[in-house]
Structure 1
Amino acid sequence: MDQKEVVYVVSDSVGETAELVVKAVATQFNGGHVEIRRSSYVEDFEDIEDVILLAKDSRCIIAYTIVVPSLKEYLDQRAAEERIYAVDLLNPLMNAFTTKFNKTPHHQPRMMRKLDEEYFRKIEAIEFAVKYDDGRDPRGITKADIVLIGVSRTSKTPLSMYLAHKRFKVANVPLVPEVPPPDELFEIPRRNCIGLIISPDKLNEIRKERLKALGLGSKASYASFERILDELEHAEKIMKRVGCPIIDVSNKAVEETAGLILEILKKERSF
């Protein structure tokens, strides 16, 4: 009876990358019938010895993704001593990066997992910004890292999305004289909230353009100076009541305002 064909997948991380590579190669031979035994989170020489002990009496290959030089060298040495075929799946490409791009690898395990975690945090923050945009659900105020408040057309939504891409959960609340601000706004720490103000002239200009884009007349009360002054006065009263920092966004790009927000928050707390 033929001895079972085994590939030991050894990694200082989860080992998913190595296993996928092994499976891709295995499909080219006998329909991919090979047994894969994964050894994850290899952190010291003893972990490697455990794999060597299992592998030396088998008809097997060790396929590994180990980036810590001392562990890699030890595995190569022990595999050679026991006449076990060991394949480094990362080093040839890492050497190519070093040679061609003149870059030095970090040699830190689990970097991919860190990148994945960062990615999913960003997606979660973006979904949060969409869900709690424009005061749709006041419950988001108490869950947010940052709460933006201000009158309509002070870039609350673009700022929310920009900050979400930096992995901050942002809720924004429009301040309108006819609508009482949500109670949650006065329950959160003042350091969680940022007020956005704008000059009446600039807001009038922006709102006229907005009305034009919607096919509406520029004389609508939304863009009238009287209405704008009322809204700004109401908003400033709310901001003073909240006690939050205030930023004038009149002639600032979204990136510039976001930078100021992060500077203000950095003084208040550590991210």
Structure 2
Amino acid sequence: MDKGNLVIYIISDSIGETAEQVAKAGISQFNLDEYEIRRFPYVTEKQQILEIIEEAKQEKAVMVFTMVLETLRNVLVEEAEKNNIPCIDIMTPVIESMGVVLHNSPSREPGLIRRLDERYFRKVEAIEFAVKYDDGKDPRGLKKADLVLIGISRTSKTPLSMYLAHKNVKVANVPLVPEVAPPKELFNVPAKKIIGLTTNPMKLIEIRQERLKALGLKHEANYASMDRILEELDFAEDIMKRLGCPVIDVSSKAVEESASIILEIFREIGYKIGNGR
């Protein structure tokens, strides 16, 4: 056997990041300047293991591995023992202990943690998108969105955008105000990607009066008057008809309920958003 520098073999049926981090943590405890780490990701066949063993037995080697596929894990352990190569199984003690506590069996499917990480980053991306394109801040976001919400003030556009973002849906929203023409980009968005939000005028008066109160303003402000609200609702209805988009009345609905209806609408028309894109 070559008595040279230590070679740490990282073997995994996924990408091997976990095993490599553990190996680096271990090697940091030694005053060792010369060593090599070799990573072998996506090992899914017995022949791959045999080839790695053949290489490792010629060197001063230690194997650190994360194999959730039990048959391959057994092959690796048996072949390492035959050739007197120390090997450290990172995953098995952890998942077996958890299985005992949970009274359940692990799925033993490679790469699940990476999928969880990807799902997390998609959610963060969707949340950042909702913040960036909230309240019509940048019309350029409309063509990038999975979904566009439109409606007058206080129809839950922002809460719905954020709620759906947590389901990995990229949402932009546009306020409809009679004095301001909707962005031209809105009329280039396919109708199947747009949801109109409307509400009961009496309910909206209550909501807007509470908003004025919170801001320290008088209830009699035009913002909370029936004439103004009816004008806005008529304007919004006209825009929604021009766009030909579905419309949801959010008057007595919680954000969760409205979001569920929106997702159901998309399922019915076959337009996939979020994870399904």
Is the Cα contact below 8 Å between 2:3 and 2:59 reproduced in 1?
Answer: no
Q: TM-score scaled to structure 2, two decimals?
A: 0.94
Number of positions where the alignment pairs a residue of Structure 1 with one of Structure 2: 271
Question: What residue number does 2:219 align with?
Answer: 218
- 5+ residue gaps, structure 1, are none
Question: What residue number does 1:103 align with?
Answer: 104
Question: What residue number does 1:147 align with?
Answer: 148
1:53-111 alpha-carbon deviations (Å, 9 max, x no partner)? 11111121111001111111111121122221111101001000100111221111111
Describe how 1:53-202 pairs up with structure 2 within 5 A: 53-202=54-203
- For residues 210 and 222 of structure 1, what CA distance do their matches in structure 2 show? 10
Question: What residue number does 1:263 align with?
Answer: 264
Secondary structure (helix, strand or coil) at the match of 2:150 reads strand
Question: What residue number does 2:5 align with?
Answer: 4
1:120-147 alpha-carbon deviations (Å, 9 max, x no partner)? 1111111111111001111111111000
- For residues 49 and 106 of structure 2, what CA distance do their matches in structure 1 show? 22
- 5+ residue gaps, structure 2, are none
Secondary structure (helix, strand or coil) at the match of 1:181 reads coil
> Could you tell me how far 1:37 is from its partner in structure 2?
1.2
- For residues 32 and 26 of structure 1, what CA distance do their matches in structure 2 show? 10
> Could you tell me how far 1:188 is from its partner in structure 2?
1.5
Is the Cα contact below 8 Å between 2:8 and 2:64 reproduced in 1?
Answer: yes
Is the Cα contact below 8 Å between 1:26 and 1:33 reproduced in 2?
Answer: no
- For residues 261 and 217 of structure 2, what CA distance do their matches in structure 1 show? 34
User: One-letter code of the match for 1:222?
Assistant: Y
Secondary structure (helix, strand or coil) at the match of 1:195 reads strand
Higher alpha-carbon deviation: 197-206 or 24-33: 24-33
Higher alpha-carbon deviation: 26-35 or 220-229: 26-35
Is the Cα contact below 8 Å between 1:26 and 1:32 reproduced in 2?
Answer: no
1:21-73 alpha-carbon deviations (Å, 9 max, x no partner)? 11111122225753211111112112212210111111211110011111111
Is the Cα contact below 8 Å between 2:3 and 2:60 reproduced in 1?
Answer: no
Question: What residue number does 1:240 align with?
Answer: 241
Secondary structure (helix, strand or coil) at the match of 1:30 reads coil
User: One-letter code of the match for 1:102?
Assistant: H
> Could you tell me how far 1:221 is from its partner in structure 2?
0.5
Secondary structure (helix, strand or coil) at the match of 2:115 reads helix
User: One-letter code of the match for 1:170?
Assistant: V
Change in 2 beyond 3 A, CA 1:19/1:229: same
Question: What residue number does 2:52 align with?
Answer: 51
- For residues 100 and 34 of structure 1, what CA distance do their matches in structure 2 show? 38
Describe how 1:17-56 pairs up with structure 2 within 5 A: 17-30=18-31, 34-56=35-57
Q: TM-score scaled to structure 1, two decimals?
A: 0.97
